[in-house]
């Protein structure tokens, strides 16, 4: 789980992650070269050939069904910068963005990004009208999107899952 604001200015002050492989020399830190494990993405999101960055207020990146990154931002024409931890290659990524109250999605499979690099990523998003435009907390560290038919208001502060998948 990771929450960011999508600006390049905050990455250096919030996200440092590197590793060292070797042995400790007593109680002193060894002289070592640390390896950066973060990949910095510079996203431009498009729909119908036009950029939607100026409308995006939230973005979720999930890969390998384990790593989740959440971006909550003030819409602007600037790229959306996100630092993600890359421990492996050949990853499956799912991207979701909220722009003007609409939900946009994109899936990319078997993708490898190099840790220690920054790269522009251009995604042609698909509008997904089957999801509610917002993340819902289901635990202290996990948020999900619900399909329109799945979550129903019962009372002022009471919700339930629909009896049938097709109910709304």
Rounded Cα distance, 46 and 49, in Å: 6
Residue pair 94/62 in contact (Cβ under 8 Å)? The answer is yes
E strand or H helix that includes residue 19: strand 18-19
Where does residue 165 rank: exposed (0-12), middle (13-18), buried (19+ CB within 10 A)?
Answer: exposed
Give strand pairing partners of 60: 70, 96
- pTM for the full model? 0.69
Q: What is the pLDDT along the chain (168 residues), one digit of tens a residue?
A: 467 888 877 776 666 565 666 666 666 666 666 666 788 889 999 999 999 999 999 999 998 878 888 899 999 999 999 988 887 788 899 999 999 888 899 999 998 888 778 889 999 999 887 666 666 777 776 777 666 666 777 887 787 877 766 665
pLDDT of residue 1: 45
pLDDT of residue 63: 87
E strand or H helix that includes residue 11: helix 8-14
């Amino acid at each position: 789980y990771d929450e960011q604001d999508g600006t390049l200015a905050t990455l250096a002050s919030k996200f440092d992650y590197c590793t060292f492989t070797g042995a400790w020399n007593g109680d002193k830190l060894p002289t070592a070269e640390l390896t950066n494990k973060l990949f910095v993405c510079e996203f431009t999101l498009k729909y119908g050939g036009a950029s939607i960055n100026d409308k995006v207020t939230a973005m979720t990146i999930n890969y390998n069904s384990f790593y989740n990154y959440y971006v909550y931002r003030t819409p602007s024409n600037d790229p959306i910068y996100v630092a993600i931890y890359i421990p492996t290659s050949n990853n499956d990524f799912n991207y979701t963005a909220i722009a003007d109250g609409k939900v946009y999605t994109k899936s990319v499979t078997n993708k490898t990004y190099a840790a220690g690099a920054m790269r522009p990523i251009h995604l042609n998003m698909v509008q997904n009208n089957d999801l509610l435009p917002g993340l819902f907390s289901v635990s202290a560290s996990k948020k999900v999107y619900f399909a329109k038919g799945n979550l129903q208001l019962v009372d002022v502060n009471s919700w339930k899952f629909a009896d049938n998948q097709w109910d709304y």
